[in-house]
């Protein structure tokens, strides 16, 4: 049985190995996929240890004062928010995915942590000048069709900061993706065969994900704009933010063409 799930029905295979996106279903894929438990099957390896490394880097670089207010926007199931709260920060987590927010709430309360988790859209203003730091982790960005939506999201993040507050974004490294693209890979995860096909088109990295298990086949898709450091720098300036540091991995290694990540530290300046 082939069961189309999420917006996976939007992938039409036209020749073996080549996928084209059905434009009507291509839109807003991110509203569904992150809500699915299959997302956890594919990305379960992105775990708490990885989150802890990144939070250690962030705390070391920013020297954020204890008990500061932090917003994790696109917080998913809350792995970074929980780490921040366990270090004594006062944390709010916001995500578009209701099931992720529900899971984050359950997990935080089972750990005795008080974190304000809310469903929300990063393009909308969370508050005006009420956080010392906004974090946006593990490519929780670049999904929108139009670049002005990305600009709007950065502007909202900036608006949520106090003057001198930090915006920290952890994004894919577009140059690395272009240089080292693996067009197809397969692995067995949680008893399911997961096949991922990747291709670059119109400045976006697109992925089709097929999960094959006892219940049949499910197909999902992702599409992320290949934004570069220069793109972010431009959006930051527009939003009153100034870049203060860039790293290329969660250990604080340098950013370069082959580094796995693009981790940016920007600061809100007086307008
Ligand atoms: C790749 S996941 C990363 C989740 C989390 N930061 C982590 O590292 O585990 C991207 C997240 O961004 C969220 N997201 C996508 N579009 C969003 C939007 N417009 N506003 C808020 N969150 C959004 C998704 O629901 C998803 O949880």
Domain annotation for the chain: domains and CATH numbers: 23-172+226-268 (3.40.50.150)
User: Are 76 and 37 contacting, i.e. CB atoms less than 8 angstroms apart?
Assistant: no
User: Are 148 and 238 contacting, i.e. CB atoms less than 8 angstroms apart?
Assistant: no
The β-bridge relationship of strands 192-201 and 204-213 is antiparallel
For the CA of 34, the nearest atom of ligand 1: 25
Question: Ligand 1 centroid to 96 CA: how many Å?
Answer: 7
- What string of pLDDT tens digits covers the 271 residues of the chain? 222 233 233 333 222 222 333 443 446 888 888 888 888 778 777 789 999 999 999 999 999 999 999 999 999 999 999 999 999 999 999 999 999 999 999 999 999 999 999 999 999 988 999 999 999 999 999 999 999 999 999 999 999 999 999 999 999 999 999 999 999 999 998 889 999 999 999 999 999 999 998 889 999 999 999 999 999 999 999 999 999 999 999 999 999 999 999 999 999 997 7
**Residue 121: CB within 6 Å of ligand 1?**
yes
**Residue 241: CB within 6 Å of ligand 1?**
no
User: Are 34 and 96 contacting, i.e. CB atoms less than 8 angstroms apart?
Assistant: yes
Residue with tokens 């190995």: 17
Rounded CA separation 235/155 (Å): 8
Question: How high is the pLDDT of residue 27?
Answer: 63
Pocket test for ligand 1, best of 6, 7, 34 (most atoms within 8 A of CB): 34
Question: How high is the pLDDT of residue 67?
Answer: 96
Rounded CA separation 270/137 (Å): 25
Express each pLDDT in 213-266 by its tens digit.
Answer: 888 999 999 999 999 999 999 999 999 999 999 999 999 999 999 999 999 999
Rounded CA separation 117/268 (Å): 24
User: Are 268 and 168 contacting, i.e. CB atoms less than 8 angstroms apart?
Assistant: no
Q: What is the DSSP letter of 120?
A: -
The β-bridge relationship of strands 161-172 and 184-189 is unpaired
User: Are 22 and 10 contacting, i.e. CB atoms less than 8 angstroms apart?
Assistant: yes
**Residue 168: CB within 6 Å of ligand 1?**
no
**Residue 247: CB within 6 Å of ligand 1?**
no
Question: How high is the pLDDT of residue 51?
Answer: 96
Question: How high is the pLDDT of residue 46?
Answer: 72
Q: What is the DSSP letter of 255?
A: P
CB 192: neighbour CB atoms within 10 A? 18
Q: Which two tokens stand for residue 222?
A: 């992702």
Q: What is the pTM of this model?
A: 0.89
User: Are 241 and 266 contacting, i.e. CB atoms less than 8 angstroms apart?
Assistant: yes
Residue with tokens 């197909």: 219
For the CA of 76, the nearest atom of ligand 1: 27
**Residue 100: CB within 6 Å of ligand 1?**
yes
Which H or E run includes 49? Answer: helix 48-62
Question: How high is the pLDDT of residue 242?
Answer: 98
């Amino acid at each position: 049985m082939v069961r189309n799930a999420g917006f996976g029905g939007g992938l039409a295979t036209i020749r073996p190995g080549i996928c084209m996106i059905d434009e009507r279903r291509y839109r807003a894929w991110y509203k569904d996929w992150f809500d699915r438990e299959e997302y956890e099957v594919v990305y379960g390896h992105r775990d708490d240890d990885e989150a802890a490394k990144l939070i250690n880097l962030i705390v070391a670089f920013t020297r954020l004062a204890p008990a500061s207010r932090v917003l994790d926007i696109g917080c998913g199931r809350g792995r970074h928010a929980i780490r921040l709260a366990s270090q004594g920060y006062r944390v709010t987590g916001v995500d578009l995915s209701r099931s992720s927010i529900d899971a984050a709430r359950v997990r935080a309360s089972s750990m005795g942590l008080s974190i304000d988790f809310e469903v929300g859209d990063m393009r909308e203003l969370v508050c005006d000048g009420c956080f010392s730091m906004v974090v946006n982790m593990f490519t929780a960005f670049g999904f929108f069709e139009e670049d002005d939506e990305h600009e709007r999201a950065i502007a909202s993040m900036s608006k949520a900061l106090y003057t001198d507050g930090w915006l920290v974004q952890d994004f894919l490294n577009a140059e690395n993706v272009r240089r080292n693209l693996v067009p197809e890979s397969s692995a067995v995860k949680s008893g399911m065969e997961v096949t991922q096909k990747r291709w670059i088109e119109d400045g976006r990295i697109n992925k089709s994900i097929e999960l094959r298990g006892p219940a049949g086949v499910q197909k999902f898709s992702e599409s992320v704009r290949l934004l570069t450091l220069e793109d972010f720098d431009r959006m930051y300036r527009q939003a009153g933010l100034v870049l203060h540091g860039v790293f290329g991995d969660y250990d604080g290694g340098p950013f370069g063409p082959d580094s796995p990540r693009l981790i940016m530290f920007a600061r809100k300046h007086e307008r």
